[in-house]
Amino acid sequence: MPAAIETEGLTRRFGNRLAVDDVSMTVPKQAVYGFLGRNGAGKTTTLKMVLGLIRPTVGVARVCGLNVARDRIAAARQVGALLEAHGFYVNLTGAENLALTATLLGTPGTEIDRVLEVVEMRADAGRKVGGYSLGMRQRLGLARAMLGAPPVLVLDEPTNGLDPDGIADMRRFLKALPERTGATVLLSSHLLGEIEQTATHVGVVNDGKLALEGELARLKADLAPEIVLRTDDDVRAAALLAGHDLVAFATENGLSAALRPGENIDRAVAALNRALVQAGLSVFAIGPRARSLEDIYRRVAAPAQRPAQHQAEAA
């Protein structure tokens, strides 16, 4: 069974600048795939190649098994997209805007009611788009992308500019889409917290390269367990951890240290607590920390942290 989206060696140059460098990614069917990276990392350029909006310098993109460059029209019919520019007619209602797109696609009018129901906008469909909030326009854009029930949705920063309520609404819609419609969602963002709450799979692009991808739960499980602690003397505590072959890093609230993969975290916490107390340190807090998408991202894309001892020496 082919993946919903697959790229092989996807590369794009703009003159002498290498924007996307040999990206080979796989988006499983009915996944919500979070595509992460800093602004300028190559996310949008990659999405445009997947959509057939720009041609790769080298490499291949496939949607539902169709080569985007060779079978452009057939591949385009498999995808609905929500990019930054909405392109709505503000003097028309939401339903009228959708009707224009449905006519261009040759989609029956019943599709309009279906997609409005999915994004919970039937009550506002008769209002002019000029009176919509940004969140409502984003939801209308999502409805337009779903016209014709394409099996793949590609969404570029769909929560950009939304207030907290709008972000929460969009998150809820996106998480439910695979089950409600059977669609696969490729979602680009630089908001780690939103992707962590929404995605089943993630890919991280850094300086144009795909640094990591996989199922989010498995990527978290593969990270070494981590301990956080707070004492009355973090410099001495960091030195003690170093004596246990653990590198401590300063955090906002104390220290953190990654254990060795497979090490029992409860026993490690008890042993370190005992050692700290025996060394005469007051331990205000110590315990395991749940690993997060930020930890995964930091490992492959964020600037390296400096150990706590080095920070103390620099100070």
The structure's pTM equals 0.80
Per-residue model confidence (pLDDT) at position 42? 92
Q: Domain boundary at 180, 214, 248, which?
A: 214
Task: State the Cα–Cα distance between residues 52 and 78, nearest whole angstrom.
Answer: 12
Same domain, yes or no, for 117 and 245? no
- Could you list the pLDDT tens digit for every one of the 315 residues in the chain? 679 999 999 999 999 999 999 999 999 999 999 999 988 899 999 999 999 999 999 999 999 999 999 999 999 999 999 987 678 999 999 999 999 999 998 999 899 999 999 899 999 999 999 999 988 999 999 999 999 999 999 998 888 878 888 888 889 989 999 998 999 999 998 889 999 999 999 999 999 999 999 999 999 888 878 899 999 999 999 999 999 888 888 988 899 998 877 788 899 999 999 999 999 999 999 998 878 898 888 878 755 454 555 544 444
Based on the domain organization, do 85 and 173 belong to the same domain?
yes
Asked if residue 230 belongs to a domain, the reply is yes
Locate 230 and state its tokens. Answer: 């707070």
Please report whether residue 298 resides in a domain.
no
- Do 164 and 273 lie in one domain? The reply is no
Domain contains 302: no
Q: Is the dihedral of CA 250, 255, 256, 257 positive or negative?
A: positive
Distance of alpha carbon 91 from alpha carbon 87, whole angstroms: 12
**Domain co-membership, 237 together with 208:** no
CATH of the domain at 277: 3.30.70
Query: 139 with 168, same domain?
Result: yes
| Closest by CA position to 191, among listed 148, 149, 159, 220 | 159
Q: Do 159 and 262 belong to one domain?
A: no
Q: The domain containing residue 197 runs over which residues?
A: 5-214
Sequence-distant (6+) residues with CB within 8 A of 117 are none
At 313 the pLDDT is: 46
Same structural domain, 230 and 201: no
Question: For the segment 185-243, what is each residue's pLDDT rounded down to a tens digit?
Answer: 999 988 899 999 999 999 999 999 999 999 999 998 888 788 999 999 999 999 999 99
Same domain, 43 and 180: yes
Asked if 58 and 180 sit in the same domain, the reply is yes
What is the CATH number for 105? 3.40.50.300
What is the secondary structure of 236-280 as a DSSP string? HHHHHHHHTT--EEEETTEEEEE--TT--HHHHHHHHHHHHHHTT
Residue 15 and residue 146 in one domain? yes
Whether residue 187 sits in one domain with residue 151: yes
Asked which of 214, 248, 278 is the last residue of a domain, the reply is 214
Please give the tally of structural domains in the chain.
Answer: 2
**Which residues contact residue 139 at a Cβ distance below 8 angstroms, ignoring those fewer than 6 apart?**
119, 120, 121, 169, 170, 173
Same domain? 173 vs 108: yes
Q: CA 246 to CA 101: how far, in whole Å? A: 59
